[in-house]
């Protein structure tokens, strides 16, 4: 069975359009996020001290979607997971896709112990 040249060119053209996303150029991109500097444990935060200094970071928007898409699969029995809320985790990074939140459906959290430089959880359930 021979495929006409026009059909082959059409398929090739569609494939090139499908992969025509912005080419990687090695530059940093802006992102939307927020942070909390604290001491103690998440959920019982206190003002940072000289011996206990941590950062909890929250990323929203396009960057959070990229992270969410990169760390799958969904955790079915995760705290907060439901038909409308998808949860994914990898190490100390957790990401959520909330289909009901039209303003910011993707959000990711992680933390850093600023005294040791080690990563840690950035949110609680």
Counting the structural domains of the chain, the total is: 1
Structural domain includes residue 3:
no
Residue 13 lies in a domain: no
- The pLDDT assigned to 65 comes to 98
Q: For residue 5, which phi and psi values (nearest 5 degrees)?
A: -55, -40
Q: Which of 98, 105, 80, 78 is nearest to 89 (CA)?
A: 78
Q: What's the whole-number average pLDDT of the chain?
A: 88
Which residues pair with residue 34 across a beta bridge? Answer: 58
What would the mean pLDDT of 58-70 be, rounded to a whole number?
98
* pLDDT score at 20: 59
Q: Does the pLDDT of residue 114 top 50, yes or no? A: yes
How far apart, in whole angstroms, are the C-alpha atoms of residue 72 and residue 35?
24
The answer to whether residue 78 sits within a structural domain is yes
Q: Is 24 part of any domain? A: no
The parent domain of residue 57 ranges over 32-120
What is the rounded average pLDDT of the residues 26-37? Answer: 97
Instruction: With respect to residue 18, please indicate whether it lies within any of the assigned structural domains.
Output: no
CB atoms within 10 A of CB 93: 20
How high is the pLDDT of residue 125?
A: 79
- Residue 2: the pLDDT is 53
- 43 to 68, 97, 119, 121, 122: CA distances (angstroms): 24, 22, 18, 12, 11
79 in a domain, yes or no? yes
């Amino acid at each position: 069975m021979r495929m006409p040249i026009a059909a082959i060119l059409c398929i090739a053209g569609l494939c090139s359009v499908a992969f025509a996303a912005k080419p990687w150029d090695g530059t940093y991109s802006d992102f939307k996020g927020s942070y909390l500097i604290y001491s103690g444990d998440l959920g019982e935060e206190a003002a940072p001290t000289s011996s206990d200094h941590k950062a909890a970071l929250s990323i929203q928007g396009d960057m959070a979607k990229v992270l969410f898409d990169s760390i799958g699969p969904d955790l079915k029995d995760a705290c907060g997971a439901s038909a409308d809320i998808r949860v994914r985790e990898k190490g100390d990074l957790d990401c959520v896709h909330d289909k009901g939140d039209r303003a910011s459906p993707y959000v990711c959290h992680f933390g850093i112990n600023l005294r040791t430089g080690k990563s840690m959880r950035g949110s609680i359930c």
